[in-house]
Amino acid sequence: MTIAIDWPLDANRIRRGMLNHTFGMVRRNSDGSRRPHQGWDFEAKPGTPCYAVADGQVVAVRNAGAYGLQVVIRFLFDFDDDGDADPLFAFYAHLSRADVKTGDHVERGQKIGETGNSGNARGMRGADQHLHFELRTVPIAGRGLGNRYSPMAIFRHCPLDAPAERLAA
Ligand SMILES: [Zn+2]
């Protein structure tokens, strides 16, 4: 069973083209110790349209804490390629606007909101403005990398240099 995935923005490039804006223990504290980043940051000036990466259902829209305005979409993807689709959750953060509400069914490529600087992205400027995108196994994940996969699992390609363009764009 092949399930089509598309990118969340029209043009998708990792923030500043830097690995520390990808998934994993990629960031450093001031003392040099490593700390996690839970998703991928895609460069996006506020007001950039965001799209559903797959057909699915909106399971949460909320505005809270470091993530600011968030949309969570449950979708199916054959993650382990065993022929059975597994439920996954696409998580969009720091939005300025949500165009969907909890319970809505969405189609891949449907606009679900717009990027912004909400939560701890407040005050970001220029190329640091971004969509924070996570791939989760549960809708509300805790801190750290738990309950998450690298978005590489669905996108297959990490656009550090040239932006990846949305297939439907
Ligand atoms: Zn981020």
Rounded mean pLDDT, 138-152? 94
Ligand 1 centroid from CA 1, angstroms? 31
Rounded mean pLDDT, 80-100? 93
- Residue 147 has a pLDDT of 96
- Please give the domain boundaries of the chain with CATH numbers for all domains: 1-10+39-139 (2.70.70.10)
Ligand 1 centroid from CA 84, angstroms? 30
Ligand 1 centroid from CA 68, angstroms? 12
1 pLDDT higher than 80: no
Ligand 1 centroid from CA 16, angstroms? 12
Task: Please tell me the least confidently modeled range out of 11-20, 60-69, 73-82, 104-113.
Answer: 73-82
- Residue 116 has a pLDDT of 98
Residue pair 54/73 in contact (Cβ under 8 Å)? The answer is yes
The residues that bridge with 41 in the sheet, in sequence order, are 132
169 pLDDT higher than 80: no
Q: Which residues contact 121 (CB under 8 A, 6 or more apart)?
A: 68, 93, 94, 129, 130, 132
CA distances, 131 to each of 31, 57, 106, 107, 124 (Å) = 27, 20, 19, 20, 12
* pTM exceeding 0.75: yes
